[in-house]
Structure 1
Amino acid sequence: MANKGYSAPTITVAVLLLFSFFCLHITEAERATKLGREKIKQLHFYFHDIVSGKNVTAVEVASAPTTDSYFTQFGLVRVMDDWLTEGPEATSKMVGRAQGIYVSTCQQNVHLLMASTFVFEGGAYNGSTLAMVGKNAVFDTVREMPIVGSSGLFRLARGYALARTHSIDLKTGNAVVEYNVTVLHY
């Protein structure tokens, strides 16, 4: 009797593809079970960037020979270990630190490239971190920067941070910035 259907190699390939699909589906289901359901978390805190005076939290580590000729301080690099607090006052309860660097990257506007890790200390998120990397257009009312990584309770997180300047002293450069952070995590 002549085979009027598919050839043996075609049927074999189809069976292997079907088998692979079921194995992949089972693996994905196991992974989802281990991670649990994805959650959304809203965080709110204040970032204290103190570049002069007592208790400095951000220090200049590099600059270009022409940095001082720009209003924007183009080429300036600072390393920070800034306080994160519940409220805008320096005496407010500390919830963590923002550790990283920021670089003035624009000649015409005060734009910073920020690479910062929010390190939470104490409370429910003790030891957990969120990594933020992005452009901070300092004088925009609201700045959005991506959350690109994490650890601890926020493992596999992604999201965004909205920053609003609460106060800035143009003479000293010291600033307090309000952050509202939204993260998706497992």
Structure 2
Amino acid sequence: MAMQLMQSTKEDPKEVDEWIQKLHHAKEKVSRLNFYFHDTLSGKNPSAVAVVEASTTNKSPSSFGLVNIFDDPLTEGPEPTSKFVGRAQGLYGSAGQQELDLLMAMNFVFTTGKFNGSSLTILGRNAVFHPIREMPIVGGIGAFRLARGFVTAKTHILNFTSGDAVIENHVVAIHY
């Protein structure tokens, strides 16, 4: 079994230093992306698993204190069979005591197309039951070096029994 041990921009430190030296002449780009991630907690092969919970989590209306790790597929459309574009990898923890507010720390890792090998890092609040949630882009690698911007997330499907969800993401990334 072969595994990629780390993600790389395929540039050695000298090439990165040369890129930084030219940065003051570089023009910012704005990339707009739209894709779906499939967060599956049920079945034989879940893409998200609970790793920590507080002693009071089961008594909480919002699962306060529950932390999940995830490695969710990203696709062009909402169907699981839609074209695969990458993975959403990270963790989310239930940080709201009264409503389901998640603290999201994740990377959108792109494995196809012009952003293959690049990723965006997102860190922010996801108020799950709000129709549209906005989270900040705090960085990136590859084509998204020094990225900033935001992601709006909209629930496409949420199964209350299994916890499985399909989330539509609109990304506005400013980068060099």
**TM bin (shorter chain):** 0.7 to 0.9
The equivalent residue for 1:164 is 154
Which blocks of at least 5 consecutive residues in structure 2 are unaligned?
A: 1-20
Distance 1:31 1:85, change over 3 A: closer
**C-alpha distance in 2 between matches for 1:78 and 1:97:** 16
Write the deviation string for residues 113-136 of structure 1: whole angstroms up to 9, x where unpaired: 000010000211111000000000
Equivalent residues, number: 156
The equivalent residue for 2:89 is 99
Partner of 1:127: helix, strand, or coil?
coil
Partner of 2:126: helix, strand, or coil?
strand
The equivalent residue for 1:146 is 136
Write the deviation string for residues 68-92 of structure 1: whole angstroms up to 9, x where unpaired: 1112110000000011100000111
- Tell me how far 1:53 sits from its aligned partner: 1.4
- Tell me how far 1:107 sits from its aligned partner: 1.1
**C-alpha distance in 2 between matches for 1:152 and 1:103:** 28
Structure 1 outlier segments of 4+, above 6 Å: none
The equivalent residue for 1:69 is 59
Residues 19-98 of structure 1: pairs in structure 2 closer than 5 A: 31-33=23-25, 36-98=26-88
Larger-Rg structure: 1
Matched, 1:155 2:153: no
Partner of 2:129: helix, strand, or coil?
coil
- % identical equivalent positions: 54
Partner of 2:88: helix, strand, or coil?
strand
Q: Which residue type is aligned with residue 52 of structure 2?
A: A
Within the candidate set 101, 123, 134, 1:111 is matched to 101
The equivalent residue for 1:178 is 168
**C-alpha distance in 2 between matches for 1:135 and 1:32:** 33
Q: Which residue type is aligned with residue 172 of structure 2?
A: T
